[in-house]
Amino acid sequence: MATLFEPVRLGSLVLANRVFMAPLTRNRAHADGVPGELAATYYAQRASAGLIVTEATQISPMGKGYIDTPGIHSPEQVRAWSRIVESVHKSGGRIFLQLWHVGRISHSSLLPNNAQPVAPSAIRANSQTLIATGLAPVSEPVALTASGINETLDDYRRAASNAKEAGFDGVEIHAANGYLIDQFLKTGSNRRTDEYGGVTTNRVRLLMETVERVLEVWDSGHVGVRISPTGSFNDMADNNPVETFSVAVERLNGYGLGYLHVVETAQNSKGSSEADLATSAHLRTLWKSLYVVNGGYDGLRGESALSTGHADAVAYGRAFLANPDLPRRLQLGAALNEPDPTTFYGGDAAGYTNYPALT
């Protein structure tokens, strides 16, 4: 059986280990969505990950949901990401960009011309977002029209092309955590009566069409998808997540993607319930490629997930945030730095690039 520290093939890449860095929103980009100057240092410090998945990055101005998050839709953003990718590659790492559209989890003050957010249905989430004045309830969304869906799919393709121009090794489609694609997947947020709503095969349609647009740009082995089947974050619910995500996974199998990245926790907690893990274990039996799990794993649980065949790789979030050399620490059984929650979002180098590595 595999261990965390064995190489693994992903498309044409051979990754040094199976300790992946999960996407982590840090809110340190400029107001125009250009990544901040310290981002190249931050990611290069963590280049020993088998694979880095960047913080969620909006595919368009309408995809933005929080202040100071980066984009991949302007030339300036592409140039800044190119410098970040170069720094990671020089440090021996591999890095995928996470493609993000927040859907209804946004605020009009963050969107062009104070527009309303878009969503599968005009259902306001019981959730908050971060705007210039602090936390605020998300705005009332409008349901995407057929032409709006097609424009959004075009945005995904354009963003995927921009990621390739920036030199990334691949892309991850964010279909988790209550954002746009997840909103289409789950019954609690999708009340449509057209070909994108109702039965499960309709609700998975946007995800499949997004994958198809991205595959117009990228080889399938360099594309991953992230899902959160039992996730309730951002006011999400589904009346039968096992059915919904079984259909989604079986459809995704047809594209020969590089990996499936499964968030196993319901509410961004540090652990997963038995039901969460049972759902993930079921999806594992369906998935035909690299299976990546995420959700409060430590070194021992990560090793167990691989040795039992539950997963092929483990994505670490907060542990990687606070430990730039996390693979080495896990392999040595060394103590981990504790993350400082007060510096997770926004700010400067403190809690970003100043966590120490082992001497």
Question: Among all residues, which ones are annotated catalytic?
Answer: 179
Give CA–CA dist 187/171, Å, rounded.
Answer: 27
Would you state the structure tokens that stand for residue 326, as one six-digit string? 């996390």
Which 3 state secondary structure label does DSSP give 52? strand
What is the spatial distance between Cα 82 and Cα 86, in angstroms, rounded to a whole number?
6
3-state helix, strand, coil in the chain (%, to 5): 35, 15, 50
Tell me how far apart the alpha carbons of residues 208 and 198 are, in angstroms, rounded to a whole number.
Answer: 16
**335 CB-contact burial (10 Å; exposed 0-12 / middle 13-18 / buried 19+):** exposed
Is residue 20 classed as helix, strand or coil in its secondary structure? Answer: strand
Q: In degrees to the nearest 10, what's the CA dihedral of 82, 55, 146, 158?
A: 10
What is the rounded distance in angstroms from the CA atom of residue 91 to the CA atom of residue 21? Answer: 15
Task: Tell me how far apart the alpha carbons of residues 234 and 237 are, in angstroms, rounded to a whole number.
Answer: 9
Residue ranges of alpha helices (H) inside 7-129 are 39-45, 75-90
Dig out the tokens for 123 from the structure: 């259902």
